[in-house]
A and B are shown apart, each in its own frame.
Chain A
Amino acid sequence: MAELTYREAVIEGIAQEMRRDEKVVFLGEDIGKAGGVFKATVGLWDEFGDLRVRDTPISEQAILGAAMGAAMTGLRPIAEIMFSDFLAVCWDIVTNQIAKSRYMTGGQVDLPLVIRTANGGGARFGAQHSQSVENWAMMIPGIKVVAPSTPADVKGLLAAAIRDPDPVIFFEQKSLYATKGEVPDGEHVDEIGKAKVVREGDDVTILALALMVPRALEAAERLQAEAGISASVVDIRSLVPLDTQTILSQVKKTARVVTVEENPRLCGWGAEIASIIAEECFYDLDMPIVRITTPHIPLSSADELEDAMIPSADRIFETVRQEVD
């Protein structure tokens, strides 16, 4: 095991797959010589060269259009959208073209491509560069949606996404880029569609994704120490496909469930999961389902305001302590 940062795990994941399969190519804005605006692609251009690691003009539609064409003609492209907010200009190509090609061609066209993008807040980038838009992607039939919380998961799930025969949107949380964690040595490939129980508890299940996972874990430790509440924490990892088996079994065990979501409240992913829980195990619930989310407002670039908007470990702790009785 080596200790890597979340951004080094991105580089390792891409490099591992590019070394393994020459069909894997990488394109995006400033990803080459500059090594990426978040320095999450440093060294790839040096190793794999101009042909396989391509800087593009500032046109997100062109990036994804090129990636789609490359995938249709036999390559396995990884396309970077620098900020996930910019996916908004790409939705036609993503939702109507990329996500629908397999269906519209009766299965004749595979699109094995990955859209990597820096998602979420906490870095003071303001309302247009800080959004957590995983719920936008979750709504599109025909696309897989992955959002890792640890360096090991970044590498393993990115490798799995690149090998996947279908399009995957891969959300990297930009505030996590500098965080460190153990990553298995050698080839590391994980499985898309499996949640992970990262802390076992008896009294309440906290469902979290990406940046919310370490915050939920911190809150869970404090709940145990300060309130005697034993919390399970589940890292959802993949919104599509969603590991309902793991989620529902934890909910049944604890009878109480709290979602912690960075996306804005309305139609956040937790709403979908709450609806599944209500349908599948209503009679196992001992408390209303509680959602902790960013409010339905544009994010501020001011430090204190942004911190108050995005769920913090303190807010998770307080909410769970007050709701679990």
Chain B
Amino acid sequence: MDVIMPQMGETVAEGTLTVWHKKVGDTVNSSDILFEIGTDKVEMEVPALADGVLTEILVEAGETVVVGTKLAVIEGAGEAAAPVAEKTEAPKAAPAGPAASTPAVELPKRDRSMKLSPVVRKLLAENNLSHTDITGTGRDGRIKRGDVLEYLKGGAATAPTAPIPAEAPGAISGEGITVVPFSYRRKMTAEHMVRSKATSPHVLQAVEVDFSGVNKARQAIGADWKRREGYSLTYLPFIAKAVCSAIKEFPHINGHIEKDHLVVFDRVNLAMAVDLNFEGLVAPVIRDADLKAVTEIARATNELARRARANELTPEEFANATYTISNNGSFGTLITAPIINQPQVAILSTDGITKRPLVIEQDGEDLIAIRPVGILAQSFDHRAIDGSYSGAFMRRVKEILEGKNWVEAVS
């Protein structure tokens, strides 16, 4: 039986085979993990799906291949086991030529071999590429949009942004050091972080927030919530809700930067950075978060984190984020300067919330009160907005968190 590169979500055309878990000659069971694949969004373990002996490996670890490529051969596959080839989607069929039933409609042929379409010109200009860099796969060798996109996906190292830091050449474990090779996800993260810093002039702004009002709501329904839902109601969904509300007044926060303009979105697709137990970082998306209540955001966040850690997310679940929140609060950090999730305008870090003495005013008198206080820090892209706009947005987030009747909002 042939082992085929599976389709990992509708938008993914290719992937990198990162690790083989079996070698030629090994006996495999259908449920054994045979290999792992990675795309720019996810990593996934793939089972053998057939019993037999692995007789041939055709694609080595580290190679990037298109969906449908034959990867290996398992012989002696049991009849009962469903072969991988049938379980995965077939690759896009090559044009089958005119079917017998089609009428003879002949259109005038256009010679487009040397012509670049508007979208191809735009993509080349945006990425400082020349048409000579790209191999056209269209008719007469025309460069199609997809050819440029493929090039950009595969050619990150040759793109004008900084290259991925290479592993220390020649270093080997032993002599008092341990060499930890970057996982596929580590490499992707590294590449994205370097690109983001090289692309966006980051500015950090932070506000101190008194979370007493939020705490009231957590105390009001927290115990009941934990019993019913099986996990704690944290500060995060309240912060997310406040961010979504504030974005309505400061819409330019919720955008993508494209070359010389800002694309502003009506809906907030909120990416939530999820740590995979120190094994990497992903940022799945809560769609239309601005339409969701605090409790709905809490459930969505918990579900995404659970599925992220179980490696169950699909590439679509990472797509089209418009703003990102990175939650470092559980580590008790004071403040974190987050790196923008490109091509978004800004990213918020939520850090530790602890009881602190706070000077408050009551009946015209200054008093020291004990309040749960935390710092919210936002990095924004100074190309898109200025400090006044970001600062006003942060002030609004703070006002909402401190002033809104959250007990009412969750009951």
Contact = CB atoms under 8 A, between A and B. Distances in A.
Given A286-B145, A318-B102, A226 B139 contact: no
Contacts, number: 60
Contact of A284 (B92, B102, B118, B142): B118
A315 B122 CA distance: 32
B119 A285 contact: yes
A319 B122 contact: no
Contact of A317 (B94, B102, B110, B144): B102
A101 B93 CA distance: 57
A287 B98 CA distance: 21
A322 B107 CA distance: 8
Interface string A98-129: 00000000000000000000000000000000
B95 A283 contact: no
A49 interface: no
Main secondary structure on chain B at its contact with chain A? loop
A187 interface: no
A216 interface: no
A18 to B, nearest CB: 37
Main secondary structure on chain A at its contact with chain B? helix
Interface residues of A, number: 23
Nearest to A254: B145
Interface in B107-161: 107, 110, 112, 117-122, 138-139, 142, 144-145
B142 A325 contact: yes
Nearest to B104: A318
B368 interface: no
Given A315-B105, A325-B138, A284 B96 contact: no
A322 B142 CA distance: 14
Contact of A286 (B103, B105, B144): B144
B310 interface: no
Contact of A285 (B96, B103, B105, B117): B117
B80 interface: no
B168 interface: no
B149 to A, nearest CB: 10
A283 B119 contact: yes
A287 B102 contact: no
B99 interface: yes
Contacts of B122: 283-284
A317 B119 CA distance: 24
Contacts of A288: 110
B93 A228 contact: yes
Contacts of B139: 325
Interface string A276-303: 0000001111111000000000000000
Contact of A321 (B95, B110, B145): B95
11 contacts: A225-B93, A226-B93, A228-B93, A228-B95, A284-B119, A284-B122, A285-B117, A286-B117, A321-B98, A325-B112, A325-B139
